[in-house]
């Protein structure tokens, strides 16, 4: 027999709200159409960052990215705060290399073989000639399994 729980608010034992409520890695949700279920934890973004790749490289904001290192024009290494479960994660990114003039840079993690569970390679290049260029501003997100 199945049961249903209807509540307005979930709180922890201390009554401090939902901040300490944990969800198991097998938690699922029902699709919008109600026809399929999906694993909630696997579908979450595991890290994201926005960084400035010119002059002194710096993170503007991030979750689960501890630092970015400049490896030369248009090449960077990111360090994760919490390790990924394997090297097969995906990085999706966009950005610009010309200070907002509309010139976009293509960013990639093409050196994926150099990625590890704790760090990733990141590159910025001009689509017009595929030349490496420093990223003026580059936001990205990482999906995959955390360790």
> What is the length of the chain?
147
pTM: 0.77
> Is 93 inside a domain boundary?
yes
Beta bridge partners of 92: 141
Q: What is the DSSP letter of 29?
A: E
> Is 95 inside a domain boundary?
yes
Confidence tier at 78 by pLDDT (50, 70, 90): very high
> Is 6 inside a domain boundary?
no
> Is 36 inside a domain boundary?
no
> Is 20 inside a domain boundary?
no
> Is 18 inside a domain boundary?
no
Average pLDDT of 1-14? 79
* Alpha-carbon span 135 to 108, nearest angstrom: 12
* Alpha-carbon span 50 to 125, nearest angstrom: 17
> Is 121 inside a domain boundary?
yes
| 100-143 pLDDT, tens digit each | 555 555 555 555 567 899 999 888 877 777 788 888 888 889 99
| 41-63 pLDDT, tens digit each | 888 999 999 999 888 999 999 99
The percentage of residues in the chain with a pLDDT greater than 90, rounded to a whole number, is 31
Q: What is the DSSP letter of 119?
A: E
Number of domains in the chain: 1
Beta bridge partners of 48: 63, 141
Domain of 97? 47-143
> Is 112 inside a domain boundary?
yes
């Amino acid at each position: 027999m199945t049961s249903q729980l209807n509540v307005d608010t979930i709180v922890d034992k201390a009554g401090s709200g939902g901040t300490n409520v944990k969800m198991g890695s097998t938690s699922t949700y029902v699709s919008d159409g109600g026809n399929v279920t999906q694993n909630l934890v696997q579908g979450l973004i595991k890290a994201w960052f926005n960084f400035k790749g010119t002059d002194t490289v710096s993170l503007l904001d991030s979750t689960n990215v501890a630092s970015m290192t400049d490896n030369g024009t248009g090449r960077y290494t990111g360090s994760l705060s919490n390790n990924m479960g394997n090297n097969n994660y995906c990085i999706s990114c966009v950005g610009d290399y010309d200070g907002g003039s509309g010139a976009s840079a293509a960013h990639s993690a093409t050196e994926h073989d150099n990625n590890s569970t704790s760090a990733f390679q990141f590159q910025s290049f001009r689509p017009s000639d595929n030349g490496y260029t420093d990223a003026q501003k580059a936001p990205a997100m990482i999906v995959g399994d955390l360790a």
